[in-house]
Amino acid sequence: RDQDFVPALVVGTGYGAAATALRLGEAGIRTTMLEMGGLWDTAGADGKIFCSMLEPDHRSMWFRDRTETPLATFLWLDVINKDIEPPFAGVLDRVAHPGIDVYLGRGVGGGSLVNGGMAVVPERDYFERILPEVDADEMYGTYFPLANRELGVNHVDPEWFETTEAYRYARVSRAHAHRAGFPTTFVPSVYDFDYMQRETAGEAPRSALDCEVIYGNNYGKRSLDKTYLPAALGTGNVTIESLHRVRSFRPAGAGYAVEVEQIDELGEVRAVKEIRCRHLFLGAGSLGTTELLLRAREQGALPDLDESLGEGWGPNGNVMLGRANHVWDPTGAEQSTMPAMGIDNTADPDHPVFAEIAPIPAGLETWVSLYLAIARTPERARFAFDAATDTARLDWRAEQAAPAETAVRSLFDRINQVNGTVYRHDLFGGTRAFESSFTYHPLGGCVLGRTTDLHGRVRGYDGLYVTDGALIPGSTGVNPFVTITALAERNVARVLAEDVRGN
Ligand code: FAD
């Protein structure tokens, strides 16, 4: 058997990649997954795989000497970020683009390792507006339910929610929202709420209750390395290579030749390999997949890629903000890092916003209510390939966040007014109340039905597919990973039926 050939190669191990690899494996197709980040399965000297937000170390960030959290200061003091060394293949990356920084997970499991676990299906009318050519009956009847099942989505027990100290912060924000006339809703999660109850009862090691989230959760979270990826490996047809970074690819024979760098955890290149495949599935995320395709076009390997490549990128309207509560409204020293509630103002025709009520994992009372709001705006940017740095660069302008901030302000001005509260201006490094210079939700760059056909097949090149958040044009109105997973499930079902079987 030719060691350097595999029928299917999947780049990345995030949501789109994992769903794709599982179905390829089940169909009996030998598949290799290549992931530039590490395999997070081994405990460090402290007995834990991931470090906590209160004591970050080299495991926290992707080749940095200091952590870079979005909530950067408290009372304008630089007390949150910490020096770390050595620069290491840590789990959270922050990629700087003009006008916006993008947070990403690095490791086997992609964003699932670092995210807040909120598993939200978008409202159907908005989904139909964003991706009008996708059959919504099929998505809402088949693929969203399938994604929820495979991801292990579960719901908080409403009675426990009402009494636990861990969600006092959410109940405080709910009361403020209701007083201002805004509805709230429970948010489904991939964090195991039974486990969380046992944490709070002192019956299980703490994770959500121990300030763990953006640098990874040691327990309780059903990240992809607990769900799709072991299922894919269990088919016997899928293998995963970690610390393998795909540099480029080109057509070769009836498929593609992919150039891969194997790195070590300190970033040294240990080997450069060429792997050939018949079918190449790009699941490197919005930034990673778009960059690989742009490099292939600009360097001449795939000159016929569609002109739309790089377009349709957006930050999903992300805006973070904090409000200062009255002293009689404490939010609790012990907060679950996994949000379980959101303010749903999406029915507002002028300023539709979904605002998740976020924790402040500080381990002490702060009297702050924090939110990650998601506004629906049509602002989009475009990636272009920059040959000098060999990277894809976005042309997002900071002013493009203004419509999202306006929408979010209209919701929270009202909440402040009714409750006699104010914004916090000390949390984001400067004096601004609204932080829109970063996103957790990069979407777009290879939009479905434009750069690809309606099932993720890249136009102009057989056997080449996009499987991840790059397919979605800039906005889902809610947290995106269920949508990314469901779309990948839908697309690979078609691709298996029509393109891959029999190989
Ligand atoms: P990703 O999950 O980003 O996976 C891509 C993978 O490909 C990564 O592992 C990456 O290292 C790898 N890769 C990239 N380039 C290469 C290359 N050249 N070679 C090899 N491998 C490569 N969404 C929600 O729905 N709910 C939430 O609560 C939520 N919270 C979040 C919190 C944080 C801090 C962050 C950062 C994100 C959050 N998100 C959340 C967003 C969600 O995690 C992403 O939308 C999702 O992970 C994107 O899935 P994907 O398949 O597009 O790619």
Instruction: Give the bridge partners for 322, in sequence order.
Output: 370
Judge if the beta carbon of residue 116 lies within 6 A of ligand 1: yes
Main-chain phi, psi angles of 39, to 5 degrees: -95, 115
Q: Which residues fall within 8 angstroms of residue 112, CB to CB, at 6 or more apart?
A: 14, 15, 105, 190, 221, 223, 224, 225, 481
From the list 176, 244, 279, 441, the catalytic residue is: 441
Inter-residue contact 16 to 467 (CB < 8 Å): yes
> Which pLDDT score is estimated for 3?
61
For residues 18-27, give the mean pLDDT: 98
Which atom of ligand 1 approaches the CA of 109 most closely?
9
Percent of the chain exceeding pLDDT 90 equals 95
Q: Whose CA is nearest to atom 43 of ligand 1?
A: 111
Ligand 1 pocket test: pick from 265, 481, 485 the residue with the most ligand atoms within 8 Å of its Cβ: 481
Q: Whose CA is nearest to atom 33 of ligand 1?
A: 115
Is 28's pLDDT higher than 60?
Answer: yes
Output b/e per residue, 288-315; b: 16+ Cβ within 10 A: bbbbbbbbbbbeebbeebbebbbbbbbb
Which string of DSSP letters, residue by residue, matches 339-361?
--EEEEETT-SSS-EEEEEE---
Residue 309 Cα, ligand 1 centroid: separation in angstroms? 20
Judge if the beta carbon of residue 444 lies within 6 A of ligand 1: no
Judge if the beta carbon of residue 12 lies within 6 A of ligand 1: yes
Ligand 1 pocket test: pick from 104, 120, 224, 247 the residue with the most ligand atoms within 8 Å of its Cβ: 104
d(Cα 112, Cα 228) in Å, to the nearest integer?
11
The predicted-structure confidence for 415-473, as pLDDT tens digits, reads as follows: 999 999 999 999 998 899 999 999 999 999 999 999 999 999 999 999 999 999 999 99
Is 502's pLDDT higher than 70?
Answer: no
Residue 285 Cα, ligand 1 centroid: separation in angstroms? 6
d(Cα 415, Cα 420) in Å, to the nearest integer?
8
Instruction: Give the bridge partners for 384, in sequence order.
Output: 393
> Is 351 an active-site residue?
no
From the list 123, 150, 311, 356, the catalytic residue is: 356
For residues 259-270, give the mean pLDDT: 97
**Enclosing H/E stretch for 248:** strand 244-252
d(Cα 301, Cα 298) in Å, to the nearest integer?
8
Main-chain phi, psi angles of 90, to 5 degrees: -70, 175
Judge if the beta carbon of residue 35 lies within 6 A of ligand 1: yes
Q: How many CB atoms lie within 10 A of CB 137?
A: 8
The predicted-structure confidence for 32-58, as pLDDT tens digits, reads as follows: 999 999 999 999 999 999 999 999 999
Instruction: Give the bridge partners for 344, in sequence order.
Output: 354
DSSP reduced 3-state for 30: coil
Residue 468 Cα, ligand 1 centroid: separation in angstroms? 9
Is 501's pLDDT higher than 80?
Answer: no
Percent of the chain exceeding pLDDT 70 equals 99
Ligand 1 pocket test: pick from 440, 452, 487 the residue with the most ligand atoms within 8 Å of its Cβ: 440
Q: Whose CA is nearest to atom 34 of ligand 1?
A: 115
> Which pLDDT score is estimated for 166?
97
Which atom of ligand 1 approaches the CA of 107 most closely?
9
Residue 310 Cα, ligand 1 centroid: separation in angstroms? 18
Residue 171 Cα, ligand 1 centroid: separation in angstroms? 29
Is 2's pLDDT higher than 70?
Answer: no
Is 1's pLDDT higher than 70?
Answer: no
Judge if the beta carbon of residue 295 lies within 6 A of ligand 1: no
Which atom of ligand 1 approaches the CA of 442 most closely?
45
What is the C-alpha end-to-end distance of the chain, expressed in Å?
15
ipTM higher than threshold 0.95: yes
> Which pLDDT score is estimated for 78?
85
Among candidates 82, 87, 94, 95, which has minimal Cα distance to 58?
Answer: 87
Residue 58 Cα, ligand 1 centroid: separation in angstroms? 20
Judge if the beta carbon of residue 104 lies within 6 A of ligand 1: yes
Calculate helix-pair angle for 168-179, 402-419, nearest 10 degrees.
Answer: 90
The predicted-structure confidence for 272-306, as pLDDT tens digits, reads as follows: 999 999 999 999 999 999 999 999 999 999 999 99
> Which pLDDT score is estimated for 75?
87
378: left (phi over 0), alpha (psi -120 to 50) or beta: alpha
DSSP reduced 3-state for 140: helix
Output b/e per residue, 469-496; b: 16+ Cβ within 10 A: bbbbbbbbbbbbbbbbbbbbbbbbbebb
The predicted-structure confidence for 81-106, as pLDDT tens digits, reads as follows: 999 999 999 999 999 999 999 999 99
Judge if the beta carbon of residue 14 lies within 6 A of ligand 1: yes
Judge if the beta carbon of residue 481 lies within 6 A of ligand 1: yes
d(Cα 128, Cα 122) in Å, to the nearest integer?
10
Judge if the beta carbon of residue 283 lies within 6 A of ligand 1: yes
Residue 474 Cα, ligand 1 centroid: separation in angstroms? 14
Is 253's pLDDT higher than 50?
Answer: yes
Main-chain phi, psi angles of 489, to 5 degrees: -60, -45
The predicted-structure confidence for 354-409, as pLDDT tens digits, reads as follows: 999 999 988 889 999 999 999 999 999 999 999 999 999 999 999 999 999 999 99
Based on C-alpha coordinates, what's the Rg of the chain? 22
In which band, very low, low, confident or very high, does the pLDDT at 25 lie, cut at 50, 70 and 90?
very high
The predicted-structure confidence for 210-245, as pLDDT tens digits, reads as follows: 999 999 999 999 999 999 999 999 999 999 999 999
Q: What is the 3-state secondary structure (H, E, C) of 69-126?
A: CCCCCECCECCCCCECCCCEECCEEEEEECCEEEEEECCCCHHHHCCCCECCCCCHHH
d(Cα 76, Cα 89) in Å, to the nearest integer?
30
d(Cα 313, Cα 379) in Å, to the nearest integer?
9
Judge if the beta carbon of residue 315 lies within 6 A of ligand 1: no
The per-residue pLDDT of the chain, averaged, comes to 96
Residue 371 Cα, ligand 1 centroid: separation in angstroms? 20
d(Cα 63, Cα 204) in Å, to the nearest integer?
32
Judge if the beta carbon of residue 16 lies within 6 A of ligand 1: yes
Judge if the beta carbon of residue 212 lies within 6 A of ligand 1: no
> Is 356 an active-site residue?
yes
d(Cα 33, Cα 12) in Å, to the nearest integer?
6
d(Cα 369, Cα 148) in Å, to the nearest integer?
29
Judge if the beta carbon of residue 468 lies within 6 A of ligand 1: yes
